[in-house]
Amino acid sequence: MEKISSENPSIEKTKFIKSKGLKDKPHNYCPGCGHGIVHRLVAEVVEELGIREKVIAVAPVGCAVFAYDYWNFDVTEAPHGRPPAVATGIKRILPENFVFTYQGDGDLAAIGAAELIHAANRSENITIIFVNNTVYGMTSGQMAPTTLLGQKTLTTPHGREVLRDGYPIKVCELISVLDGARYVARGSVTTPKNVLTTKSYIKKAFLNQIENKGFSIVEILSMCPAGLDMEPLETMEWVDKELIKYFPLGVVKDV
């Protein structure tokens, strides 16, 4: 908590209070990584909705796996790409609990694409938090399903090519055509305005589950300076100038 003193030293104004949904522990993400911001947003929404004692999060392999070190609520681990399947099982056995997954683009859109699509198609009453930084961050920045055309990665040193690699997958647009998908939105964490808007998307998605409305997913465009081989500020500018062009922000579907 930070307090701002006024001219009168006896008067203090509270500026910020860390959410009880976060542990008092420094994280080990790379400088400039967006995961810490997303963790905070999720924790704040959980606390504001009063569901911390009922939450069960599911984290897979990848940078997302560290989530259970920082959230102050129950988090279980799933094999690579399988969080929607694990979350489905947990929610069906414990329907009174609040269950969400926390996944990266390599996990969710590559090896986990089938689990995602079928969970959405069945309208499982779970929530997906999908962090899209266009690369496999933990393993040094290989091409992911969301890597942009022409984007250089560890496995596309000359840029992603359509004939060889196909097109970047627009997950929100893909999921939105399924009848079972109830709420689909895409935000980012590059500016204060975008952070606040993204928090509102997360809150709406969480409320949908509480109200038993079915499947919701929030995609969040994020920075990965290490995987993108950029300085932190340069990465934020790249997300705003390039990534948002292909993955436009906003609510894609709201039933």
**Each residue of 83-112: pLDDT tens digit?**
999 999 999 999 999 999 999 999 999 999
Torsion (CA) 193, 195, 199, 205 in degrees, nearest 10: 100
Look at residue 5 and tell me whether its pLDDT is greater than 70.
no
Are the C-beta atoms of 224 and 137 separated by less than 8 Å?
Answer: yes
* Confidence tier at 15 by pLDDT (50, 70, 90): confident
Residue 231 pLDDT greater than 90, yes or no: yes
Side chain identity at residue 229, one-letter code: D
Domains and CATH numbers, the chain: 18-254 (3.40.50.970)
Banded model confidence at residue 202, pLDDT cuts 50, 70, 90: very high
Report residue 102 as tokens.
């926390």
Helix 83-93 to helix 113-121 angle, to the nearest 10 degrees? Answer: 40
Q: What is the pTM of this model?
A: 0.93
Q: Residues 159-169: pLDDT tens digits?
A: 999 999 999 99
Q: Where are the beta strands (DSSP E) in 44-97?
A: 55-59, 74-77
Tell the burial category of 226 from Cβ atoms under 10 Å away from its Cβ (0-12, 13-18, 19+). Answer: buried
